[in-house]
Structure formats: C-alpha cells, structure tokens
Chains A and B, each alone.
Chain A
Amino acid sequence: MKKIFQSEWMSRSVDALLPVFATLAALLVGAIMLLFLKVNPIEAYAALWDGAFGSSNAVAETLVKATPLLLVALGICISFRGNVINIGGEGQMVVGALLATWVGLTFLDAPGWLIIVLALFSGFLGGALWGGIPGVLKAYFNVNEILSTVMMNAIAIQLMNFLLRGPMIDPSQELLASKIPQTARLLDIFQLPRLAPTRLHLGALIAVVLAALVYILLWRTTLGYRIRAVGQNPNASHYAGINVPRHMVMALLLSGAFAGLAGAVQVYGVNYRMITDGSASGFTGSAGFNGIVAALFGQLHPLWSIPASILFGALLVGANKMQRMVQVPSALVIALNGLVVIFVISSEIWRRNRQKRRLVAVREGESPPQQDQLEVQKEEARQ
C-alpha cells in the first residue's frame, strides 16, 4: 500500500513539473543550436539570466514584459478551456489599444482617473468585439475560429496602419515631412501610475488581480462552469440544457477582451502612444502569440499563468541582453518558445498514459486506496 502511495506521489509531482522539463529540454536544444552557431551556450544563457534578473531594473523590465503576456494568457485560459482556439490575440490587442488610445486623445478635459478607467474598459470592449466576431462566426456559421482569428489579425493590422497614417496621426507629424505613423502622446495625467522608480506600472498589479478573478470566474461561477462544460463535451452540454453556441461566443469574446485590455495597458502603461512599423508585432511584441505559450505553460490555469508569464517575460527581456553581449539574435527566444509549446503539448501523453494505467488498475481490482478511486473518477470526468 505504502509503495502505491509513494509512486502515486512521485508521478503527481512529475505531472506538475512536466512544463519545467519541457523548458529545460527546449533550452538544451537551444544550447545545441548555439554550439552550431559557434556561441558558448553557457555565456549566452548567463547573459540572458543577467538581462532578466540581474538588477532591480531588469526585474522591473521583466515584469513589464510579463504584464501583457499574463493578460493575454488569462483570455487564452478561458477560450482554450472552452475548447475554442483563439489565435487572434495580436489583432485583439491592436483593436483594444486603438479604442483606448482614441478615448485618451479625445476627452482631454476629463480627470485622469476617469480616463484611465474608461480607456481600460474600452480596451476590454475593443478586444471583445474583435474576439466576438470570430466567436459568432464559429457558433452560428460554422467558420473555423483558428482561421477567422488569423484573418482578423491581418485586418486589425491594416486598420491600425490606416488610422495611424490618417485619421489618428499626431497633428504635429502631419506638418512634418517625415509623417511618422504615430498618434499624439497621452497627457501625463492619463498615464498608468508607476509602482517603483522603474518602468513597472499599475498594469502589472491589475493583471495579477484579474488572474484571481478569472480563476473565480472559471471555477466558482455558472458562466465559467458552462464554458468549461461546453469545452469538454458540447453534446452532453446541449442535452444538459446549456446554450452551446452562446457559450462558445462568450469564450472567444472574453478571451479577446483580455487581449484588448493587454493592448490598452501597453499604451497607457508603457508606450503612452501608438506607433506602427507596419506589422502587429511592432506594437504587441508578439504578446498575442507568446501569451498562448504562457497559458499553455501554466496548464491553462489563471494563477499558474502568473509565474509562466514572468518566465516568458524574462526570456524576452533577457534575449535583448543576450543579443548585445554575445551577438545571438533575440529571434532564438522565439524559436525556443516554439519548442516549449511543442514539448509541453507532446509531454501530455505521459499524463494520459498514467491515467489510463490507473484506470486499468482500478478496473482489474488491484485495490488501490479508497481515496485514489475517487481521484480516478474525478479525472475520468475531467477528460
């Protein structure tokens, strides 16, 4: 009996550590790639670590980078739990940011706190709109959401380019020959307050609070329960009387809303204006994609997404230092993120096989402890 318990405990901790192993494996592959490029991997990773955590400033930068990742990841937790794949984080961030920026540049006489609240809310709204459209298309027109969100990304980029080159361009740029496609700068009173004498801003705190709220939403409210139920088994949910299409839309809409909020926070906390280099990643820093990576790494759990986002924020910040110190392009980190996704998602077979072994053990009456049987039933239900 004791032995079963022990091996049980062992495999559970291995379960929890799977993402860590996956990351280590990705870093190992990265080290091999570095060797091929004739770079000392230890030096490179040391520079990366130093860039991410080497000083209080570095830590602050890491947290600043982690903030949009966490916000996007929270949305991903909701949509992926609802079995809706939202690849549109980039576009949702852009549209949320555009709407939020418009608020800040239009109502110049309003008090600062009011504009900040309104701006964050409009970011949420803009993202919800951009996520809601693919949601409706999926739920009511049977259009694959992976494809429509990718298309919506492309449309959002052009919308941003159009608005920043035309209607929303900084009036002072209009007079200059350069015509840099950017908006005017937000008034100082509209900017999110700093938390320390670094670039760390209130947005980071907001994101952490929201992580707790999303946890409550998913596991303590009817809406969250229904979204998860639809995600696990749409047919059963339908027979249980849940409006399946509506909850599909809600999953994508909320997911988009959090990405939109990430865009607004980026403008009000970091850039204080919008500027475009023609691509989405020029504004988002690919947070719309990297947020997916962080959420998966956090096993689609809002609270675990916090450390996951910090990890990937650290990788991104550290990559810049690595580029300066040992001349390894920061693109390496994008490739590593890809490997982390592949490894994490591949390693799930280990968990599934273990569950299956346990189910077989239960059925064959190898008398596992009572407690365990309950667990197995729970896991069966979760599948």
Chain B
Amino acid sequence: MITDLLSSTVLIGILASGIRLATPYLYAAIGETFGQKSGVLNLGVEGQMLLGSFAAFYVTFRTGNLWLGLLAAILVGALMGLAMAFVTVNLHAKQGISGIGFYLFGLGMSDLLFQKLMGTVETVRGFPRVSIPVVSGIPGIGDIFFNQNILVYGAYVLVPVAWFVLNKTTLGLKIRAVGENPDAADSLGVSVVRIRYFTIILGGMLSGIAGASLSIALLNVFQQNMTSGLGFIAVALVYFGGWRPFGVLVGALLFSFVNSLQLWIQVLGLPIPSDIAVMMPYVLTILVLVATASKIRSPSALTKPFEREG
C-alpha cells in the first residue's frame, strides 16, 4: 500500500496539487507580510478572503467574465482593507480584536449575500490551465510546475516581487522603518499613516485575490465558510516564514504538500483515518512555529498603534 504512494504518477499528482493548493496561502500570506512589516497585524484575512471569494464568484457567474470577477474580488478586498486601516491606524483600535470583528463580518456577510443573491451552490468555469511552451513538455516537471492556471503562476511570481519591493526599494525601506521604529520614521518625514494605509489595503487586495483563487480558479464553486480557517493559517505562515516572502513560500509549500499528501492518502484508501490525516498540517504548523518562534524577531512595532508625541 505504501508503495502505491511512491509510484511516479501519484508522486507527480501529490506535487502538482501541492503547488496548486499553495496559491491562496501565498496571496493571503504575502499580503499579510506587507501589513505586519509595517506594524499592523490583520487578523481579518479570513473575512476578506470570504467576501473576495464570493464577489469573484458572483460577478463571474453573472457576467461570465473571469477578469471582472477577479477585479471585483480585488475591489472588495481593498474596501475591507480601507476599513481595517481606518479602524487600526486612525482610531488606534486593538488590532487582534478588530481583526476578529472583520472576520465575523466577512463570514456573516458572505453567507448572507450568498443566500440572498444565489441560494444554491452553482459552479463556474474557472481560469483554464495554461501550458507554458517547451517546459511544460518536460516529463514530470512539466506537469508539476508548468500546467497550472494563471492565478497559480501569479502567486509564485508574487513571491520574488514582494521580496524585491520589501528589500530593494525605497518603499520597502519605508515600510520596514515604519514597522520597526515609527517614531524615527516619522521624524525623517515618512508618513506612518500613509504607509500603513498602503500596506493594509494592499493586503486586503491580495486577500481578495486569495479568495478568488479558490472560487474561480481552484474549486470553481462558492459555499458558506468555504475558506474554513485558511485565512488564519495564512497569518500563521507569516510568522512561520519569519516575515520574509521566501520564508512564507517555504511554509506555504510545506503546508500544502502535507495537505495534498493527506488528500491522496484518502484517495488511495490507505489505512489512516481521514480525520487524523486532515489534522496533520495543523499539528505540523504548531511544531514548526515552536521550532522557529524563538529564533526570529517580529517587527518591533507590530500591533502597536502610532501616535505622535506632543
């Protein structure tokens, strides 16, 4: 039985779906990385994803245009981000708790809209697979990496872009400064408020895309609470990755490979109870958090509202 798991078709299947499953985590966690780098913990990612997911699905379902759907998700995510920014930056609300508020709002609102506007579970034709010429023909590798849909590719392009922006640009320097020492950044003329608005809204947009990647690219349906904790895991991945985009990538891949392994264990009917198998990624995440937490320092101003003295 265990040898079934090691046959090349199954192995390719596990790896390919692992690459695919990492997509929503990547968008959401990279977005969250920007927010946390600037000192804002957004726990409402799950709510933003749910609303983004619904917006993308509904618009696609009505118009038949996937890009309009994606745009709707980005807009909804940006709006949620804007609200979050106002509450945390201007009103100095406690970030962890207001995030829970945004989560509950998104959870209830997406369900409400789904029941009122759709009522039944429908499907759409999601983003099609795009084979990258030449490389997609490589046996094994091609199926794993180069036969995915556009949102999957986008997620992997996002990682180096985020790394570049955070570490090699002035904007990135400002973001990091605001997250480490807002008072110093402020005295040097960096607008803490503007930077934080930017990162939180960007995070919201990326969470919206993460939600859209579920409803119009990977699963192609919308259901109540379809993210089921995915947004919270994305937040965990940011810690896991030590606030570095490539660290987040490693975490997302590890998590989704274990997840995909677990799915295949069920498909192949191996003698491990499915509930226990589903548990594995979560246990693993806790273990890795334990292993990495003491080594990596979080941004100094994380969760601390900024207020000018005087």
Q: A282-310 vs B: 1/0 string, CB under 8 Å?
A: 00000001001100100000000000000
Kindly state the separation between the CA atoms of A159 and B293 in the bound complex, as whole angstroms.
Answer: 26
In the complex, the number of residue pairs spanning A and B with C-beta atoms less than 8 Å apart equals 143
B103 touches A159 (CB 8 A): no
Contacts of B105 in A (CB 8 A): 335, 338-339, 342
Question: Which of B225, B273, B289 touches A147 (beta carbons < 8 Å)?
Answer: B289
Tell me if A's interface is mostly helix, strand, loop or mixed: helix
Looking at the assembled complex, report how far the CB atom of B90 sits from the nearest CB atom of chain A, in whole angstroms.
8
Contacts of B121 in A (CB 8 A): none
Question: Which of B224, B235, B278, B290 touches A143 (beta carbons < 8 Å)?
Answer: B290
Contacts of A332 in B (CB 8 A): 108, 112
Please judge, given known A-B contacts A144-B239, A146-B96, whether A161 and B275 are in contact too, CB under 8 Å: yes
Contacts of B283 in A (CB 8 A): 151, 155
Question: Quick check: is B286 within 8 A (CB to CB) of the other chain?
Answer: yes
Question: Which of A141, A147, A166 touches B294 (beta carbons < 8 Å)?
Answer: A141
Question: Quick check: is B134 within 8 A (CB to CB) of the other chain?
Answer: no
Q: B73-117 vs A: 1/0 string, CB under 8 Å?
A: 000000000010001000111101110111111111101100110
Please judge, given known A-B contacts A148-B289, A335-B105, whether A85 and B97 are in contact too, CB under 8 Å: yes
Give the number of chain A interface residues (Cβ < 8 Å): 48
Contacts of A161 in B (CB 8 A): 275
Kindly state the separation between the CA atoms of A155 and B278 in the bound complex, as whole angstroms.
Answer: 8
A142 touches B112 (CB 8 A): no
A335 touches B282 (CB 8 A): no
B104 touches A345 (CB 8 A): no
B112 touches A331 (CB 8 A): yes
Looking at the assembled complex, report how far the CB atom of B258 sits from the nearest CB atom of chain A, in whole angstroms.
13
Kindly state the separation between the CA atoms of A71 and B251 in the bound complex, as whole angstroms.
Answer: 36
Which among A55-63, A101-109, A117-125, A346-354 touches the partner chain?
A: A346-354
* Chain B, residue nearest A350 (CB): B91
8 Å CB contacts to A: which residues of B101-153? 101-109, 111-112, 115-116
A279 touches B228 (CB 8 A): yes
* Chain B, residue nearest A145 (CB): B96
B289 touches A338 (CB 8 A): no
Kindly state the separation between the CA atoms of A154 and B230 in the bound complex, as whole angstroms.
Answer: 10
Contacts of A338 in B (CB 8 A): 47, 100-109
* Chain B, residue nearest A147 (CB): B236
Kindly state the separation between the CA atoms of A144 and B297 in the bound complex, as whole angstroms.
Answer: 12
Question: Quick check: is B232 within 8 A (CB to CB) of the other chain?
Answer: yes
Range class of the B interface residue count: 35 or more
Question: Quick check: is B279 within 8 A (CB to CB) of the other chain?
Answer: yes
Kindly state the separation between the CA atoms of A361 and B285 in the bound complex, as whole angstroms.
Answer: 51
B235 touches A147 (CB 8 A): yes
Specify which of A85, A332, A342, A352 lies most central, judged by the most chain B CB atoms within 10 Å of its CB: A342
B290 touches A342 (CB 8 A): no
Kindly state the separation between the CA atoms of A155 and B224 in the bound complex, as whole angstroms.
Answer: 21
Q: B3-40 vs A: 1/0 string, CB under 8 Å?
A: 00000000000000000000000000000000000000
Kindly state the separation between the CA atoms of A33 and B115 in the bound complex, as whole angstroms.
Answer: 14
Contacts of A349 in B (CB 8 A): 91-93
Specify which of B96, B104, B282, B293 lies most central, judged by the most chain A CB atoms within 10 Å of its CB: B104
Question: Which of A150, A166, A335 touches B229 (beta carbons < 8 Å)?
Answer: A150
Please judge, given known A-B contacts A147-B235, A337-B104, A341-B100, whether A37 and B116 are in contact too, CB under 8 Å: yes
Please judge, given known A-B contacts A162-B273, A345-B97, whether A334 and B107 are in contact too, CB under 8 Å: yes
Q: B169-198 vs A: 1/0 string, CB under 8 Å?
A: 000000000000000000000000000000
Q: B220-261 vs A: 1/0 string, CB under 8 Å?
A: 000011001100110110010000000000000000000000
Contacts of A141 in B (CB 8 A): 290, 293-294
Looking at the assembled complex, report how far the CB atom of B247 sits from the nearest CB atom of chain A, in whole angstroms.
15
B108 touches A151 (CB 8 A): no
Question: Which of A87, A162, A166, A346 touches B98 (beta carbons < 8 Å)?
Answer: A346
Looking at the assembled complex, report how far the CB atom of B183 sits from the nearest CB atom of chain A, in whole angstroms.
18
Question: Which of B97, B228, B294 touches A142 (beta carbons < 8 Å)?
Answer: B294
* Chain A, residue nearest B83 (CB): A342
Kindly state the separation between the CA atoms of A104 and B276 in the bound complex, as whole angstroms.
Answer: 25
Kindly state the separation between the CA atoms of A154 and B278 in the bound complex, as whole angstroms.
Answer: 9
Contacts of A165 in B (CB 8 A): 273, 275
Question: Quick check: is B216 within 8 A (CB to CB) of the other chain?
Answer: no
For the A-B complex with A338-B108, A338-B109 known, give 6 more contacts whose Cβ atoms are closer than 8 Å. A33-B112, A147-B232, A152-B286, A329-B116, A331-B115, A346-B98
- A contacts, CB < 8 Å to B: 33, 37, 85, 87, 137, 141-144, 146-148, 150-155, 158-159, 161-162, 165-166, 279, 289, 292-293, 296, 328-329, 331-342, 345-346, 348-349, 352
